[in-house]
Amino acid sequence: MAKNKKKDGASAPSLALSLSGISKSFGPVHANRDVALDVHKGSIHGIIGENGAGKSTLMNILYGLYSADAGQIAIDGKPVRIASSSDAIAHGIGMVHQHFMLVKTFTVLENVMLGAEKGFQLDSSVEATRAQLKKMGDEYGLSVDPDTLISDLPVGLQQRVEILKALRGANILILDEPTGVLTPQETQGLFEILRALRDEGTTILFITHKLHEIMALTDRVSVMRQGEMVAHRETAKTDMEELAQLMVGRKVLLQVERTKVEAGEPVLQVRDLEYVDAAGVKRVDGLSFDVRAGELLSVAGVAGNGQTELLYMLSGILAPTGGSIEIGGAKVTADNPVDAAHMRDLGVSHVPEDRHNRGLVLPFDAKENSILGHHNDRELGGLLFDRAAIAERATRQVTEFDVRPPNIDLRAAQFSGGNQQKLVLAREIDAAPSLLLIGQPTRGVDIGAIEFIYSRLMEMRAAGCAILLVSVELEEVMSLSDRILVMMDGRQIGIVDRDAADENMLGLMMAGVSSEKAA
């Protein structure tokens, strides 16, 4: 291990990177507050924290995409100023972003070349880059066909291109939540590449919110919480329990009170459901399952494996291209599609994964958002809206769901993430659905609101509502569900009872291993 190599030397391990006093605010929000961080040369340093803890902000500052309000950065002991990504690159920093920074219409070669061209004419750069790609492929197992278009590559290989780009002349490599789009197996492959790079002397900063990745990969770990750096540890000298405590800032992880509910008749029946998108890619491939009254079925899987399309079909945003959905006495097929408005009439409520672009209209006030999707309700007026009725409905929702501040004239954009989620949930539950679809219920939501949301979901379940939950958080899936459906590549890998499942088994299933083998 690199760490051990260093210990053999006479001097103390030298620092590749040292940050101190970094602060950054976005309006009233302190994304980073007086953050300090030392990273040893040739080590893999993990930074862990919940969503919104300020990890990405810190890395974007280090990479010059944001400018810090205060603080110093030193590289190899020398203070530097990083005002732009070109400064960062000049100082040997490379970054693999959470959202890939690739030109989809370009080839792999063109993407790797971009920004590192040699001279005005491209010819010489093309040859040099081609040779370099071959070398990287041979040395680190980072091989990818240079002449393929990015848009034709699977996500895992796209990430490989990102790494190749970031490695051009970099001594310090930042990876921001790189495993979110990968299967567990692809993740293992990535880890091997990173270890190989570390052993060649590259310093690696690995950002994640997943504890087991920290334990599996890193030499050191720093924990962030609410914009502050709360602890630094050697990975070998800490454990998951301590890190988890540090991340959430309190002893107990969330416990959900699940009462026993006898599931009733099937509310939703899905048979051989398929969705082929405009580009001809099969996003959902042959799903068949029921959700019964008083039952919570979770759909687990790595993000982007067809869960979004499933939610959209069940809520009427997309029409299926094959199979059927039976709900509320109606049978939805490719020949008999039902739009989102009609789905609501059939008793389906939908808390979408993306509340900013789907569930809310951010410039609208809470009143106007309280009727989104229900604006054709008769009780809201005739030819013109009955504004008193709308205000009454909004007030009812805001009060029942304890939205803060309880001001229905405030625009949605002015509420915090947790309260925005409550606004959506309030509206959808207010419609008294027989089926509640809910995607990533706690993404970007603070702990207090999470507890509230969980207990509301359990109440709905107890009241006989059928709930279909889509989440990429295995802990959430494990603590809420009655049964768990695992999806990969649009396919249904299996459905397991919660009591028969554990995280390891679900992880294998998410990689495509059938439930019998995984168990």
Partner 1 sequence: MSDFLLQLALALDAMFRVATPLILCAMAGIFSERSGIIDISLEGKMLAGAFAAGAVAALTGSPWAGLGAAIIVSILLGLLHGFACITHRGNQVISGLAINILASALAIVLGIALFRQGGQTPSLGQSERFRPIELPFAEALQNVPVLGMIYSEIVSGHNLLVYVALAAVPITAWVLFKTSFGLRIRAVGEAPEAVDSAGISVYLLRYRAVIIAGLLCGIAGAYLSIAHGGAFIRDMSAGKGYIALAAVIFGKWRPMAALFACLLFGFLEAVTARLQGVELPIIGEAPVEFMLAAPYILTVILLAGFIGSAIPPREIGEPYPKEK
Partner 2 sequence: MTSHGLPRWADVGLLPLINILAAVIVSGVLIWVIGENPFEAMAVMFNGAFVYSGGFGYTLYYTTNFIFTGLAVAVAFHAAMFNIGGEGQAYIGGLGAGLAVLMADSFLPGFLLIPFAVAFAALFGAAWAFIPGYLQATRGSHIVITTIMFNFIAASVMVGLLSGPMMREGQGSPETRIFEPNGHMPYMHEMLGWIGIEVARSPLNLSLVIALAAAVLVWFIIWRTRFGYAARTFGHSPGAAEYAGINTTWLIIAVLALSGALAGMMASNAVLGEPHKIVVNFTSGYGFTGIAVALMGRNHPVGIILASLLFGALFQGGTELDFEFQTITRETVQVVQGLIILFSGALAYMFAPMLARILFMITPEREPA
Q: Does 240 bind partner 2 (CB under 8 A)?
A: no
Binding mask 61-80 for partner 1 (x = CB under 8 A): --x-xxx-------------
Which residues in 301-340 contact partner 1 (CB under 8 A)? Answer: none
- The count of residues interacting with partner 1 (CB under 8 A) is 34
The three-state secondary structure class of 439 is strand
Backbone angles phi, psi at 354, to 5 degrees: -105, 90
Q: For partner 2, which residue of 276, 372, 410, 431 counts as binding (CB under 8 A)?
A: 372
Distances (CA, A) of 264 to 80, 112, 268, 291: 65, 56, 12, 9
| 348-351 and 93-96 strand pairing | unpaired
Question: Which one, 109 or 477, has the nearer CB to partner 1?
Answer: 109
Distances (CA, A) of 303 to 284, 306, 320, 349: 13, 8, 20, 22
The three-state secondary structure class of 142 is coil
Q: Does 376 bind partner 2 (CB under 8 A)?
A: yes
- The minimum distance between CB 174 and partner 1, in angstroms, equals 11
Name residue 317's amino acid.
I
Q: Does 427 bind partner 2 (CB under 8 A)?
A: no
- The minimum distance between CB 157 and partner 1, in angstroms, equals 16
Q: Could you tell which of partner 1, partner 2, none binds residue 373, using a CB distance below 5 to 8 A set by kind? A: partner 2
Q: Could you tell which of partner 2, partner 1, none binds residue 86, using a CB distance below 5 to 8 A set by kind? A: partner 1
Question: Which one, 99 or 260, has the nearer CB to partner 1?
Answer: 99
Q: For partner 2, which residue of 274, 285, 368, 482 counts as binding (CB under 8 A)?
A: 368
Distances (CA, A) of 209 to 73, 214, 297: 24, 9, 25
Which residues in 298-327 contact partner 2 (CB under 8 A)? Answer: 315-317
Q: Could you tell which of partner 1, partner 2, none binds residue 65, using a CB distance below 5 to 8 A set by kind? A: partner 1
Q: Does 359 bind partner 2 (CB under 8 A)?
A: yes
Identify which of 398, 185, 476, 428 has the alpha carbon closest to the alpha carbon of residue 311.
428
Q: For partner 2, which residue of 361, 389, 391, 447 counts as binding (CB under 8 A)?
A: 361
Q: Does 115 bind partner 1 (CB under 8 A)?
A: yes
Q: Could you tell which of partner 1, partner 2, none binds residue 317, using a CB distance below 5 to 8 A set by kind? A: partner 2
- The minimum distance between CB 340 and partner 2, in angstroms, equals 3
Contacts of 379 (CB under 8 A, 6+ apart): 386, 389
Q: Could you tell which of partner 2, partner 1, none binds residue 90, using a CB distance below 5 to 8 A set by kind? A: partner 1
The three-state secondary structure class of 373 is coil
Task: Please state, in angstroms and rounded to a whole number, the distance separating the CA atoms of residues 328 and 434.
Answer: 8
Q: Does 362 bind partner 1 (CB under 8 A)?
A: no
Q: Does 391 bind partner 2 (CB under 8 A)?
A: no
**How many alpha carbons fall within 13 Å on the CB side of residue 478?**
13
Task: Please state, in angstroms and rounded to a whole number, the distance separating the CA atoms of residues 442 and 425.
Answer: 11
Q: Does 289 bind partner 1 (CB under 8 A)?
A: no
CB 249 within 8 A of CB 446: no
- The count of residues interacting with partner 2 (CB under 8 A) is 31
Q: Does 279 bind partner 2 (CB under 8 A)?
A: no
Q: Does 128 bind partner 1 (CB under 8 A)?
A: no
Task: Please state, in angstroms and rounded to a whole number, the distance separating the CA atoms of residues 162 and 102.
Answer: 7
Q: 3-state SS of 25-73?
A: EECCEEEEEEEEEEEECCCEEEEECCCCCCHHHHHHHHCCCCCCCEEEE
- The minimum distance between CB 93 and partner 1, in angstroms, equals 10
Q: For partner 2, which residue of 41, 168, 342, 443 counts as binding (CB under 8 A)?
A: 342
Q: Does 409 bind partner 2 (CB under 8 A)?
A: no
Task: Please state, in angstroms and rounded to a whole number, the distance separating the CA atoms of residues 53 and 193.
Answer: 27
Backbone angles phi, psi at 23, to 5 degrees: -130, 145
The three-state secondary structure class of 403 is coil
Q: For partner 1, which residue of 22, 31, 49, 125 counts as binding (CB under 8 A)?
A: 125
Q: For partner 1, which residue of 29, 90, 240, 500 counts as binding (CB under 8 A)?
A: 90
Q: Which residues of 266-279 are buried (b: 16+ CB within 10 A; e: fewer)?
A: bbbebbebbbbeee
Which residues in 10-39 contact partner 2 (CB under 8 A)? Answer: 27-28
Q: For partner 1, which residue of 160, 165, 220, 358 counts as binding (CB under 8 A)?
A: 165
CB 352 within 8 A of CB 439: yes
| 78-80 and 228-234 strand pairing | unpaired
Q: Could you tell which of partner 2, partner 1, none binds residue 362, using a CB distance below 5 to 8 A set by kind? A: partner 2
Which segment (109-117, 186-194, 206-214, 398-406) binds partner 1 by CB under 8 A? Answer: 109-117
Q: Does 352 bind partner 2 (CB under 8 A)?
A: yes
Interface residues with partner 1 (CB under 8 A)?
63, 65-67, 84-90, 95, 97, 99, 101-106, 110-111, 113-117, 119-123, 125, 165
Interface residues with partner 2 (CB under 8 A)?
27-28, 315-317, 339-344, 350, 352, 354, 357-364, 368, 371-373, 375-376, 383-385
